Amino acid sequence: MPWSSMCALLPALLGAAALQSPLALAAEEPSPAPGSAGVAEDEPTAKPPGDLEPKEAEVPPAQSIAPSPTPVPKDALDDPGYLPGYRSYPSLGLSSFAPLVGGLPGGITPSFMAPMPPGQWTLRWNGYFSASAQFSSNDRLQTSEGQHTLIFHAPPATIEEYASFDSVNAVPGHWVQMYFKYGNRDVTAVVMLSTWNPSEPTTYYQIGSENFLNSVYLDFNIPEVMANLKLSARTGYFYNNYGQLGQYGLGMYQNPIAAIIRGVGGTFTGEYELSPKLTVSLEEGFMGNRNGKAPNGLTRQNPNYNTDPTYPASYIEHVHLGLARRGATTTVKAQLHTILNWAMDERPQVSTDNMVTRGIDESYIRDAKMSVYAADITVSHPGYGLLAIAASHVDASYAYTLKGVQTFGGEGQNLTDRWLGDETTGTGTVNVVAFNYTGTLGHILAHPAPFDPNRADLILNAGGVLANSHSANPLFNDRNRWKAGLDLLYVLTSWVGGAVRFDYVSPNSHDSAENFCVLAPRLVFKTNWTSRENISVMYAKWFYGSHSHAEYSAVLVPRLDDQLFALNVNMWW
C-alpha cells in the first residue's frame, strides 16, 4: 500500500479506536429523540435567553417516564473486524483464541474471533458411526483336563478381511466419521474426523489406525460466468470416490470399481445444462500422495507402511466426463474416468537390495506408472429402484511403490501382492465388471402411486463382481475371481425387522476348492419407520472349501473360524 494511502487511513483507524474505547463511550451522551419521554415534542431543544435554569418538561400524571435509550456506538468502517488490531480490546499479548500459525503472505492474516462481514455464514455438522462387538467361535482340536471343546476368539478369526476380495461385508465393523462445515454460498471449509479404531487409537498391532483429521479442504462455488454453466473447485487434503455402485456408497462390497483417490491437491468441476433434461459435466484434478517420501534411514513401523522410505513421492492426474438425463420419472447417468498415478523419484534407490521386501529391488527402482480407465452407468426410478453397472481396466508398470490411488485391487503394494505377484514388481493388468441393484417390493407394487413409508416393506439389495488379472506370475495370470450376494430385509413394524444375506465367493479359477459361501441372518431394531439409527443382532456362518484361506496368505494356516456373533449399532445425521 502506498505511504500516502496509509497516512490517509491512519486517522480513520485512530478515530475508530477512540470511538470504541471505554472512556469515549462513557463520555458520549445520547441525544434525545423527538417525541421521547423527558422532552416535549413542541418544546425547543435550545435554552431560551435569560433563563438561568432549564425548565423541566411537564409529564402527564397518567404517563410514566421511559428510560433513556441505550447508546449504540457506531463503527467508522462498514465491515469492522477484518483489519488486524482494529477492535480496541486492551492486551499486552496475542489473544488466546488466535492459533499458533505464522503470518500469511501479503499481510492478509485474519483477525481471529472478529465479526465476519455479512454473508450468511453457517456451521453444519453431520456424520456417521458404526460400532460392533464381535467374536468368532470354533472347536478346539485337542482338549485336556480343564479345557472346553468350544472356543471363542476376539477379534474374529474368519476369512473376512476389509477391502480384500474374500470380504463380503456381511457383518459391518467399526467406523466413525464426522464432517464439520463452515461457510457461505461461495466458500465452505470442511474438516473431517474419522477412525476405524475408536476404542484404542494406537496399539501394538494397529499403529496409526486413528485417522483423526482425515480430510481438510475448501469447496468453492465459482460465480456464474455464463448461463446454464456451474463451476466449482475443491482444494486441500481430501479423497474422491469414483465408480460407486450404490446411491450413497459403494454397494454390496467395499472395493471401488474405478478408484478412490486420496491426497493433497485440487479438483475443478464444470456442469453445463444442454437442455432442461440433459446435463454434461467435466472434472479435472491433480494431487500428490499425502505423505510424500519418508526420510532415508527411518525404520518402518509395521503395519504403518507410510513410514517406509522405500516408497517415493507419487502424483495423480485424473479426468472425468459425465452425462445425465433426467426424465419425468427415470434418471440415467453415464460417466467415463481416466486416472494416471506415477512416481519419478531417485531418493528411494540405495546401494543394496533389501531381501525382505520381495516386491521391489531397492538397488534398482524403476519409474512407476499405473493407469485406470473406467465407466459406469446408473438408472434410478422412484418405483423400480436403482440399477448400476460399472467396469474398469488397470494397467500397471512397476507399480509396487505407488500411493494415492486405491484401485479395485488396492494401492500399488496390495495390487502387486494379491493380484499380480511380487516378482513382477507390480507389472500387469486387472479387469473388473460389476453390478448392483437396490429396490423395495412396496414401491414396485404401489407404482405409479407413491408408497407409504410407514408400512411393512421388503427391501432387496443384490450385487455381483467379476475380476480378471494378467501378469508374468503363473499363479495370477489369466486368473478369474467372482462373487455375488443377495440381501433381503423385511421391515415388519416401526421398531423391528428381520433380514438374511447370502454370498458366494470364488477367489481362484485355478482352484475351485478355495470357493466358499456365507449365510448371515440378523434382527434389526430401531425407533421409527424412517429412523436414523438401528441396532442389529447378527450371526454369520461360513461354509469353507477344503483349500479356502485368507487372501493375504498363500498357505492353509492359520485355521479359520466358521461362526461369528455380533452386536452392531449405527447412526447417521
Partners of 502 in beta bridges: 486, 519
Please name which of 461, 535, 520, 459 lies closest in space to residue 492, comparing C-alpha atoms: 459
Are 54 and 47 in contact, with CB atoms under 8 Å apart?
Answer: yes
Q: Tens digits of per-residue pLDDT, 273-300?
A: 999 999 999 999 999 987 777 777 666 6
Alpha helices in 348-484 (DSSP H): 412-415, 441-446
Does 19 have pLDDT greater than 60? no
Give the highest mean pLDDT range of 39-43, 66-70, 516-520: 516-520
Answer yes or no: is 244 within a domain: yes
513, pLDDT greater than 90? yes
- Cβ-based burial of 251 (10 A; exposed 0-12, middle 13-18, buried ≥19): buried
Over 90: is that where the pLDDT of 52 sits?
no
Q: Does pLDDT of 164 surpass 60?
A: yes
The end-to-end CA distance of the chain, in Å, is: 48
Nearest-Å Rg of the Cα atoms of the chain is 33
> What single string gives the DSSP state of each residue in 115-168?
PPPSS--EEEEEEEEEEEEEEEEEE-SS--TT--SEEEESS--SS--TTSTT--
Measured in degrees and rounded to the nearest 5, phi and psi for residue 124 equal: -125, 150
Q: How far apart are CA 239 and CA 265, in angstroms?
A: 10
- Three-class SS of residue 64? coil
Q: Is residue 370 part of a domain?
A: yes
Give 79's contacts (C-beta < 8 A, 6+ positions apart).
117, 118
**Which one is predicted more confidently, 211 or 477?**
477
Burial class (CB in 10 A: 0-12, 13-18, 19+), 102: exposed
261 with 318: CB under 8 angstroms? yes
The owner of cell 441505550 is: 70
Asked if 294 and 307 touch (Cβ cutoff 8 Å), the reply is: yes
The single residue listed with the C-alpha cell 473388473 is 432
| pLDDT, tens only, 235-287 | 999 988 898 888 777 888 888 899 999 899 999 999 999 999 999 999 999 99
Work out whether strand 259-273 and strand 405-406 pair parallel, antiparallel, or are unpaired. antiparallel
Phi, psi values for residue 4, rounded to 5°:
-65, -40
Strands of 150-276 (E only): list them.
150-153, 175-183, 187-195, 212-222, 229-242, 259-273
Predicted pLDDT of residue 336:
96
Largest CA distance in the chain: 119
Q: Is the pLDDT of residue 153 over 80?
A: yes
Of 528 and 72, the structure prediction assigns the larger pLDDT to 528
Q: In 274-356, at which residue ranges do the beta strands (DSSP E only) sit?
A: 278-288, 315-326, 331-343
In-domain check, residue 84: no
* H or E stretch at 563: strand 563-572
- Bigger pLDDT: 314 vs 93: 314
Residue span of the structural domain in which 195 resides = 159-489
- 24 secondary structure, DSSP code: H
Asked if residue 505 lies in contact with residue 480, where contact means CB atoms within 8 angstroms, the answer is no
Q: Which residue has the higher pLDDT, 48 or 568?
A: 568
Span 349-373, average pLDDT:
80
Q: Evaluate whether residue 360 is within a structural domain.
A: yes
Domain assignment present for residue 152? The answer is no
In a domain, 544, yes or no: no
Number of domains in the chain: 1
Closest CA to 40 of 10, 63, 24, 70: 63
- Residue 74, exposed/middle/buried by CB under 10 A (0-12, 13-18, 19+)? exposed
Which runs of consecutive H residues, i.e. helices, occur in 230-331? none
190 inside domain = yes
- What pLDDT does residue 213 have? 77
Q: Which helix (H) or strand (E) holds 14?
A: helix 3-20
Q: Does 558 reside within a domain?
A: no
